[in-house]
A and B are shown apart, each in its own frame.
Chain A
Amino acid sequence: MKLKVFILLLCCSMVAISAQDMYEFSSNAQRNRFYALIANFRCLVCQNETLADSNAPLAQDLRDNILQQINEGATDEQITDYLVGRYGDFVLYNPAFNVRTYLLWLLPIIMLLSGFGFMIYYVKRQKKVE
């Protein structure tokens, strides 16, 4: 009985694997580029997921579009510019590091360091009073 249940579950897990998209690549380099790229773009429907994770139809369309561009010979930069040119900076899953986003990226570190700084300052002051 346990064997039958096990085989049934095994078959079910096979179905889950086959439900994923099967993409054709002409080289390993292209496969790697593709998977790297789709992990770097945001799904605009499910905005907390990357294009790699999302099941939304738009994500499917964008993955197909990126694959097509790779096959047509576009560079990673060209593909990025294409998507950012149409969807804005928000389509980048990791915000770009530029003049407008320095504060976004560096503020946590600044706050951490200034927190430490205050701590050390107050501890030293306490020691001086003693």
Chain B
Amino acid sequence: MKIRMLVPFVLFATLAILFWHSLSLDPSHMPSPLVGKPLPDFKATLLGQTKEVRSGDVVAGKVTLMNVWASWCMSCYQEHEFILKLAQEKNIQWVGFNYKDETSKALIWLAQLGNPYHLTLADPEGKIGILLGIYNTPETLLIDSKGIIRYRYVGILNESIWKEKFEPELLAITEECGL
């Protein structure tokens, strides 16, 4: 009889633990299904120019960090200083991806705040963005030298995110390539 009386309590405790754990989960967190797959093939114009480049050519042979940003995006502004600092590392290439933005405003933004990118691709209508599964700004994609997307982070880049999420993956890439 006494054991039976414990059943509601055990049920409650199980639910309580589940809910407590769920409080720390982010329901809007969406891992990209493109992780582990090659960067989709697309052609894009360089920001402010008429020259077009192929995605495969841009990422071939180098470890790339593709940073999705726009001049209207406050969060991109917040992470920009950190990216400027990171871009001083010479062994990875930073490629800017200007998403749903006006070219003139984007160019002014880079001129005023500094340009960490080796090159910047322009996607003013967001069509390439859909190809890459972009849904928010800022986003940062880590692409290895074979063109495979290794990781996609949605949100403002900072020191702790960089250390927790990007550095382990970068280490894995370096070990694979024997660099």
Range, interface on chain B: 10 to 19
From known contacts A45-B135, A86-B131, infer whether A57 and B126 are also in contact, taking CB-CB under 8 Å.
yes
A39 interface contact, C-beta 8 A: no
B178 interface contact, C-beta 8 A: no
Within B77-129, which residues are at the interface with A (CB < 8 Å)?
100, 125-127, 129
**A58 contacts B33, CB within 8 Å?**
no
**Residue of A57, A65, A88 touching B30 (CB-CB under 8 A):** A88
**How many A-B pairs with Cβ below 8 Å?**
38
Please classify the interface of chain B as helix (H, G, I), strand (E, B), loop, or mixed, using the class held by over half of its residues. loop
Q: How far is the CB of B8 from chain A (nearest CB, A)?
A: 10
Q: How far is the CB of A119 from chain B (nearest CB, A)?
A: 14
**B126 contacts A87, CB within 8 Å?**
no
A47 to B30, CA, bound (A): 11
Q: How far is the CB of A65 from chain B (nearest CB, A)?
A: 5
Q: How far is the CB of B143 from chain A (nearest CB, A)?
A: 16
Complex contacts, B34 vs chain A, CB 8 Å: 85-86
A70 interface contact, C-beta 8 A: no
Hey, what's the 0/1 contact readout for A48-75 against B, CB within 8 Å counting as 1? 0000000001100110010000000000
In the complex, the chain A residue whose C-beta lies closest to that of B40 is A86
**A44 contacts B30, CB within 8 Å?**
yes
Q: Which residues of A contact B (CB under 8 A)?
A: 44-45, 47, 57-58, 61-62, 65, 84-88, 90
Q: When A and B form their complex, which 6 residue pairs have the shortest distance between CB atoms, in order from nearest?
A: A86-B133, A44-B135, A88-B33, A61-B126, A90-B30, A87-B133
Q: Which residues of B contact A (CB under 8 A)?
A: 27-28, 30-34, 100, 125-127, 129-133, 135-136
18 contacts between A and B (CB under 8 A): A44-B135, A45-B135, A45-B136, A47-B27, A47-B28, A57-B126, A58-B126, A61-B125, A61-B127, A61-B130, A62-B130, A65-B127, A86-B33, A86-B132, A87-B30, A87-B135, A88-B30, A88-B31
